[in-house]
């Protein structure tokens, strides 16, 4: 729909660019959702994949930067001074014990990789226990962190000459800022545009950093803000970042055959994806966990076979297989708890499971009956097999990966 709609007036160039991109890719029709390479290695590109710290690392909060009223960046360091290797756009899992319960939440890095600091940007969610505690962190606090995870990434290379359009809504800016910083630093011949939508000027995170990057890199980094409530003295298009506004902006960016990265609330994301049609887009969304929870209406009996034992329980409406299995005392493997690492892969023996999308299983794994316990919910009574069966934590780099309600996008 979108390409037809965009192929007239000022939108024609964008339509041509997108058609050219499709032709260049050999006429295929990539998914408008997450591009999911077949292997974790492919997800990360040709260079080496950063090591995943399956066991949590204890990091120290060096300082806390307030980005907006509800958003802070925790600047974390390793006491041994180790560098943080990850791909720009990846996320980390913060483990915390809150009110006597273990919780894990995923937050994207907002800085570029390869330094002795890890910047995790966190938004306080209404009613979010974990985010409320984490945004109140202070210098000197210690956090346990796993990662990196996720394939919403770019692998920067100085030999590349390419174009990116980064589209952010709200705190969805976080992984995109990491990508922008890394690409601008590493790829002198590449160009980027950032389209960033917010309600008000006060909601714009990293405003001064973005402005500084734009000044430093000239036409290599073009920024277009969109504000629902315009603000005197702050250059922005007025309105919501919907498909019409996005298409208007994109048509004027002057980037040939860009790759689009979209991260933000579902409403914005859906509008932008509608505008882009079947162009190759990488996207990461937000609040998928809570949506999937709401969509899963009924409790179902589940049987988990592990280590020669059967654990029979009832998965409450909306509970993940991981939650239900752990509550039943089954030795469930897990790591990121967000669909990104594949550590919780188990086999569906019978019944139906709904997987929150996107996730890191390959089509071959899906055909073989594997599901991810952390983002899977029973649609019917189910029997599941934990291979190996002794449980324990596993790590691994995956591709894809959704963000749950506490995540910063």
Enumerate binding residues for ligand FES (CB under 6 A): 334-337, 339-344, 360, 372, 374
To ligand FES, the closest distance from the beta carbon of 398 in angstroms equals 6
The two three-digit tokens of residue 328, written as one number: 């039943």
CB of 375 to ligand FES, least distance (A): 6
Considering the complex, state which of residue 296 and residue 334 has its C-beta at the smaller distance from ligand FES.
334
Q: Which is nearer to ligand FES, 137 or 335 (CB)?
A: 335
Q: How far is the CB of 321 from ligand FES (least distance, A)?
A: 10
The residue to which tokens 């291979």 are assigned: 387
Report the alpha-carbon angle 181-186-190, nearest 5.
85
* Euclidean distance between CA atoms 376 and 374, whole angstroms: 6
Q: What values do phi and psi take at 31, rounded to 5?
A: -60, 140
DSSP state of 390: S
CB closer to ligand FES out of 258 and 339: 339
| Radius of gyration of the CA atoms of the chain, in A | 21
CB of 162 to ligand FES, least distance (A): 30
Contact 356, 396 (CB under 8 A): no
Nearer residue to ligand FES within complex by CB, 30 or 396 = 396
CA separation for the pair 173, 169 (Å, rounded): 6
Tokens coding 406 = 């506490």
Asked if residue 109 lies in contact with residue 126, where contact means CB atoms within 8 angstroms, the answer is no
Of 227 and 356, which has the nearer Cβ to ligand FES? 356
Smallest distance, ligand FES to C-beta of residue 320, A:
9
For residues 113 and 150, which CB has a smaller minimum distance to ligand FES in the complex?
Answer: 150
How far is the C-alpha of 311 from the C-alpha of 325, rounded, in Å?
A: 8
Provide, rounded to whole angstroms, the least separation between the CB of residue 307 and ligand FES: 19
């Amino acid at each position: 729909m979108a390409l037809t709609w965009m192929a007239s007036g000022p939108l024609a160039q964008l339509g041509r660019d997108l058609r050219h991109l499709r032709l260049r890719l050999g006429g295929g029709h990539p998914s408008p959702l997450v591009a999911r390479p077949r292997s974790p290695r492919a997800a990360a590109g040709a260079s080496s994949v950063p090591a995943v710290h399956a066991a949590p690392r204890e990091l120290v909060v060096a300082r806390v930067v307030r980005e907006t009223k509800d958003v802070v960046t925790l600047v974390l360091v390793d006491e041994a001074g180790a560098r943080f290797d990850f791909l720009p756009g990846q996320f980390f899992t913060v483990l915390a014990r809150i009110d006597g319960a273990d919780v894990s939440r995923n937050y994207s890095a907002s800085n570029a990789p390869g330094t002795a600091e890890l910047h995790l940007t966190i938004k306080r969610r209404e009613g979010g226990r974990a985010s409320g505690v984490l945004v109140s962190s202070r210098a000197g606090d210690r956090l346990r962190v796993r990662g990196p995870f996720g394939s919403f990434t770019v692998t920067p290379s100085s030999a590349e000459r390419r174009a990116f359009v980064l589209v952010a809504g709200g705190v969805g800016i976080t992984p995109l800022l990491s990508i922008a910083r890394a690409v601008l630093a590493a790829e002198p011949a590449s160009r980027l545009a950032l389209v960033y939508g917010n309600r008000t000027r006060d909601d714009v995170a990293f405003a001064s950093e973005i402005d500084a990057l734009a000044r430093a890199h000239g036409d290599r980094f073009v920024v277009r803000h969109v504000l629902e409530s315009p603000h005197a003295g702050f250059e922005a298009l007025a309105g919501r970042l919907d498909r019409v506004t996005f298409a208007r902006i994109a048509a004027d960016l002057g980037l040939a055959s860009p790759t689009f990265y979209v991260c933000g609330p579902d409403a914005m994301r859906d509008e932008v994806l509608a505008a882009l049609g079947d162009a190759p887009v990488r996207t990461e969304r937000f609040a998928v966990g809570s949506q999937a929870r709401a969509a899963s209406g009924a409790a179902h009996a589940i049987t988990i076979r592990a280590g020669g034992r059967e654990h029979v329980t009832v998965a409450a409406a909306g509970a993940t297989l991981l939650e239900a299995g752990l509550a039943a005392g089954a030795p469930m493997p897990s790591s990121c708890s967000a669909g990104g690492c594949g550590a919780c892969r188990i086999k569906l023996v019978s019944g139906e499971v709904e997987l929150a999308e996107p996730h890191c299983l390959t089509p071959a794994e899906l055909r073989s009956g594997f599901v991810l316990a952390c983002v899977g919910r029973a649609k019917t009574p189910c029997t599941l097999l934990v291979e190996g069966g002794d449980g324990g934590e596993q790590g691994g780099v995956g591709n894809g990966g959704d963000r749950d309600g506490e995540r910063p996008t």
